[in-house]
Structure 1
């Protein structure tokens, strides 16, 4: 029997560092499927690109074990297909499922269609689902209310900062207002930690330097395959 999955949402304005956590987690998994509008996972992490719906379906069906696929698409119809395929892909074997920039392909009401099925029913089959969005107000209620973890990065405006602070039940002064700063929150536990992403020596996939998470002024590496209940080491 599989354990229930985890639903993680990373929130922050463009270039705030919200995708750093997602990509670092993606490096730890052997079986990953990503909705990749900008082709970031192809160019930065070496995922196998799928450029057409047919190619995506065929490659997902052929990937029985380890494999990292990126569906390079950006419209709502393509996202619906992605969610349908991701649901089946994960039922074959537990996977990491990444959905970048959700506001462009979902609404703010209750999640519906294949996306709603994926996050409401799919978690029973043990995936880790990672989504990103720039503003908390722009994401659907289902993922915001059901998320296991929130990784909150820089917010530009007072309105956005107050929204997320109220949603999480924290002081608005704790909401990051500078690039690469973050807080991490878990359902049922509340605020877990605050920190900043830093860069160390360059690597194959991180030419600008490999990110680490600086917490209490100590650089931490992400624990394998998990947001890890913030068990950094």
Structure 2
């Protein structure tokens, strides 16, 4: 399989996003409701099987084997049809599993494709080892993926526990309920959203930021 993206396109905009909030606050619900549409092409790193069933009204095809996941993803990218394809290993996942997922996704980038590839990265803090510069293929996608139509949605519980590359390189931030006030203050430093607004958030409530502008809302099912 090819592991290099094609057709670099500097005219493409940054659509990277992250969703941050304590366990049980609704991060996965936010990803499903705010960032994914039925017609999107979507690749998912799904270590906890959170995406079994349907996503945006479409069946998620889930693969425990990386090669089979890659085969399905690359076949899907040869079309202009929407799809939802997940890599969900049967074993307890590691940093290496996440890096291999990102390697496959990196190779699926195409700056001239009619559809971007949306990439849901669950449990980022559990699968990376640094709060500094993002490394490996995840870091490559965050820094360069825009040019190849790669749009990540990065999920984690606390901003302090993940690479600053994520927060610095994402156009969109979805801030949800925080367990501790220091987490709210950290996010204020990184986003400009007042900590006093962040600490008010309850389950399924969010603050969605685009650039420097932000609005509050709630996830409805």
For the criterion TM > 0.5, the same-fold answer is yes
Question: Structure 1, residues 79-100: CA drift from partner, whole Å, max 9, x if none?
Answer: 1111111112232842111101
Q: Could you say which structure has the greater relative contact order, defined with CA pairs below 8 angstroms and 6 or more residues apart?
A: 2
- Structure-1 residue corresponding to 2:26: 17
Q: Does 1:60 align with 2:73?
A: yes
Q: Closer, same or farther in 2 for the Cα pair 1:5/1:28, shift >3 Å?
A: farther
Structure 1 unpaired stretches of 5+:
199-209, 211-233
8 A Cα contact 2:141 2:150, kept in partner: no
- Structure-2 residue corresponding to 1:30: 40
**What value does the CA root-mean-square deviation take over the aligned residues?**
1.8
* Matched residue count: 197
- Structure-2 residue corresponding to 1:48: 61
- Structure-2 residue corresponding to 1:6: 15
Normalising by structure 2, what TM-score?
A: 0.82
Q: CA deviation at 1:191?
A: 3.8
Structure 2 unpaired stretches of 5+:
1-8
Correspondence 1:1-233 to 2 at 5 A: 3-24=12-33, 25-45=35-55, 46-63=59-76, 64-65=78-79, 66=81, 67-73=83-89, 74-91=93-110, 93=113, 94-106=116-128, 107-175=130-198, 176-187=200-211, 190-198=212-220, 210=221
Normalising by structure 1, what TM-score?
A: 0.78
Q: Closer, same or farther in 2 for the Cα pair 1:49/1:98, shift >3 Å?
A: same
Looking at structure 2, the residues matched to 53 and 127 of structure 1 have their Cα atoms a distance apart, in angstroms, of 19
Looking at structure 2, the residues matched to 91 and 77 of structure 1 have their Cα atoms a distance apart, in angstroms, of 24
